Amino acid sequence: MRVRSRRVAIVTGLAVALFAAGGVGIWMRTQTPTSAVAAPVTGKGGASAEALQDHPVLAADSLAQTIAALQARITAIPRDWNAMASLGIAYVQQARVTADPTYYPKAEAVLRRSLAVHPEANFDAMVGMAALAAARHDFAGALSWGQQAEAANPYNGGVHDVVGDALIELGHYPQALAEIQKAVDTRPDLSSYARASYALELQGDVHGAVRAMELALAAAGTAADTAWTENQLGELAFNAGDLAGADAAYRRAIAADPSFVPAHAGTAKVAAARGDLAGAIAGYEWAVTRYPLPEYVIALGDLDTKAGLTEDAARDYGLLRVEERLFQANGVNVDLEIALFDADHRVDLASGLAAAQAEWARRQSIHVADALAWELYANGRASEALAYVDRALALGTRSALFFFHRGMIERALGRTLAARRDLATALAINPSFSILWSKPATSLLTRMGGAP
């Protein structure tokens, strides 16, 4: 029995990563419209908030110092609405850096105080409220606040990022791309180039996405920026099945900033794809003890399951459920995450389907369409699932997981040729697309007479 110590605080992580979207030539090639927002942009509210906007990853100690200084200023000048807005933005950022959602209620309180003191054209507080809403997965609220900020200061490139993020999450892709293009045109920098990358990736242009992210890398001004951008290049490489390229990018990120946890999780993911279970488990344990994002906890649980460490896996999945409750207690909507986990692990399928349906009622993005399709399939409703998974792929996104889901749905419907085609496509895109499903997909394709 392997003994190990997991220093896991019972806190949750958010996918509050920058949306990789917007850039030269980002316009959609299809006619069908289809983790986290960027650090928000500030207007004229003060250097501390402006510093936050420019760093996708800000060291926790630097951020803690910023928060302490802003708290002291507000104590000395209780009606300093600029400092309040900056503090609210800092709290949202702190929740991301520490994976602790209890900062969100603090952020909301201080941002609303700023708005109460200065309700007119309070750009920083509006952008802060948009960032907070997005972090809580309230993307309609994020759009509303972002549009108010945009009306207050339409010439700030960063506010177009915020609005574009919300539109993407809501599934309003043509409008989102227009906003992202405005951001690139107004302020070509790391944030807007990263959004260009995501817009291109969504539309299946992986090479264009890499080029845009390389522009973001060239615009990186700090070691933290460099680490974040290299990690995104690693993700693009991994999702395209390039394990060597992904590993190299993750290691460049670590070299730039050894404390940057996502890159360490990336090397663990590569280890898992290469069949190094022990190395992958050790890597994810390291990541979870420092930054317990649910995706890392799930990956660790799945690896422990694969390694036959059932007690460890049960503890991992138990932590995930605690995290879900902590999310919800702090105003974060986790319906999409619940739906995907429950469908993958075949637990509480009725609740998972209800969660996916509720999320679809709120926003109709390709990721929600895929999650709803997978839940319908898991609940034995493949005929209903097909229309949703088709919608998930309507933009041309080169997602191995989406193609795998469609292949499984088609197989359940007796569409053998289509199922074989989509399973083959999934494995061609990325043979290591899932800890749980890559090997079963390969075995199933072989049994169906396709090329693994």
Residue 15 has pLDDT above 70, yes or no: no
pTM of the predicted model, to two decimals?
Answer: 0.86
The yes-or-no verdict on residue 109 having pLDDT over 90 is yes
The three-class DSSP label of residue 21 is strand
Q: Is 47-183 in CATH node 3.20.20.140? A: no
Write the pLDDT tens digit of every residue in 137-184: 999 999 999 999 999 998 887 899 999 999 999 999 999 999 999 999
> How many residues does the structure list for the chain?
452
CB 205 within 8 A of CB 240: no
**E-only strand ranges, 255-304:** none
239-279 pLDDT, tens digit each:
999 999 999 999 999 999 999 999 999 999 999 999 999 99
Distance CA 238, CA 256 (A): 19
Query: Who's near 244: CB < 8 A, 6+ residues apart?
Result: none
Which of 182, 186, 208 shows the shortest CA–CA distance to 197?
208
Hey, where are the domains in the chain?
47-183
User: Is pLDDT of 54 > 60?
Assistant: no
